[in-house]
Amino acid sequence: MTTTYRIATIADLDTLQALSCQTFSATFGAENQPEKMADYLATAYAPAQLTAELENPHSRFVFAEVDNTLAGYLKLNIDDAQTEKRGNDRLEVERIYFLPEWQHHGLGRQFIAYAEQVARADGKHYVWLGVWEHNENAKAFYAKMGFQKVGQHSFVLGDDPQTDFILEKAL
């Protein structure tokens, strides 16, 4: 199994949108009301929204391909692109999404290692992320990777405010 990484560009907009909707729905759809999920997907992954994110010089989308098959993506933010003002010495992992068939293949570990490498190269001292308070598998995974809870914030899905735990790892 060979994993390669590729930085997404504006030419990948349609692929990014489809992958975002598919992975987010697969991960969170069963625990949320369908109309709220549809509202969120239509807003968060709208072409204009994703275009703005792709064009932000402080954000980076990275596709993971396994044996030339798209498996998922990672979104990294620094400086003013971070979803929370956590400081310029931090890199945020805003999204780490894999298609269901590629989960539990070690790709999450590879993506965290990739994020840490980018953070160090950019002179950052911490990597942080938000994880839904009810996503037990993700919370356990991040704990194994050395992340610790340092706070929480609201994440609004449709009009439903939910709680994300903020997890951070010192490099």
Would you please indicate which residues are annotated as catalytic (active-site) residues?
142
Q: What is the pLDDT of residue 1?
A: 80
CA distance 77 to 93: 7
74-97 pLDDT tens trace: 999 999 999 999 999 999 999 999
Question: Which domains occur in the chain, in start order?
Answer: 3-121 (3.40.630.30)
Residue ranges in the chain modelled with pLDDT below 70: none
Q: What is the pLDDT of residue 20?
A: 97
135-156 pLDDT tens trace: 999 999 999 999 999 999 998 8
Q: What is the pLDDT of residue 31?
A: 86
Give whole-number Cα distances, 99 to 45, 74, 123, 124, in Å: 16, 12, 31, 29
Pairing status of strand 3-7 against strand 59-66: antiparallel
Q: What is the pLDDT of residue 158?
A: 81
Q: What is the pLDDT of residue 30?
A: 87
pTM for this entry: 0.94
140 C-beta neighbours (distance < 10 Å), count: 10
Give whole-number Cα distances, 136 to 58, 68, 141, in Å: 30, 30, 9
CA distance 129 to 164: 9
Q: What is the pLDDT of residue 133?
A: 94
